[in-house]
């Protein structure tokens, strides 16, 4: 049975650190599948007009397509060309919740994410996705600095 690692990407340079660490871990483990995940923050709640709500589905599909093309596909191709087994997943929702859900659905043994270099008042007030994931995950979480 292959070990599965979930790698959470943020679409920024910090995601590259998570990918590099995952590549290192995959080399050490050997029989390993990498699930490269990008979560588009998306609230299920809406306080918009009926016309705006009608466009949500189209916008979600466009965002998934863009994230797959720009973030996921290059990362998966890089791993697969190096001989590793990798596949990509893009979903909408809360980052911590989605990464945890995928790890449970896929029977993953670990989640790898990177600490974001972004800060500011909103992060101090509401917390970060990484901190929320560490506090709520069902599997071990490795946070790469």
Q: What is the pLDDT of residue 124?
A: 42
Q: What is the pLDDT of residue 118?
A: 55
- Walk along the chain (145 residues) and give the pLDDT tens digit of each residue: 589 999 999 877 778 899 999 999 999 998 999 999 999 987 666 667 777 777 887 888 899 999 999 999 999 999 999 888 999 999 998 899 999 999 999 999 999 998 765 555 444 434 588 888 888 899 999 999 8
State the Cα angle at 61 between 51 and 22, rounded to 5°: 140
Other CB atoms within a 10 A radius of the CB of residue 68 amount to 15
- Break the chain into its structural domains and give their ranges: 3-117
Architecture of domain 3-117: 3-Layer(aba) Sandwich (3.40)
Q: What is the pLDDT of residue 67?
A: 94
Q: What is the pLDDT of residue 65?
A: 95
Q: What is the pLDDT of residue 52?
A: 77
Both structure tokens of 129: 């996705």
Q: What is the pLDDT of residue 121?
A: 41
In terms of phi and psi (left: phi > 0; alpha: psi -120 to 50; beta: otherwise), the region of 141 is: beta
Q: What is the pLDDT of residue 45?
A: 63
What is the rounded CA–CA span in Å between residue 90 and residue 109? 19
Which one-letter DSSP state was computed for residue 17? Answer: H
């Amino acid at each position: 049975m292959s070990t599965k690692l979930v790698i959470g990407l943020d679409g920024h340079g910090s995601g590259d650190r998570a990918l590099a660490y995952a590549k290192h871990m995959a080399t050490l483990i050997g029989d390993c599948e990498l699930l490269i995940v990008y979560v588009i923050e998306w609230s299920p709640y809406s306080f918009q007009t009926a016309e705006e709500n009608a466009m949500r589905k189209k916008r979600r599909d466009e965002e998934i397509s863009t994230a797959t093309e720009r973030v996921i596909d290059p990362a998966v191709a890089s791993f697969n060309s190096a001989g590793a087994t990798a596949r990509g997943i893009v979903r909408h929702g809360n980052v911590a919740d989605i990464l945890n859900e995928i790890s449970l659905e896929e029977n993953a043994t670990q989640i790898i994410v990177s600490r974001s270099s972004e800060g500011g008042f909103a992060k101090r007030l509401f917390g970060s996705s990484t901190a929320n994931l560490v506090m709520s995950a069902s599997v071990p979480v490795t946070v790469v600095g």
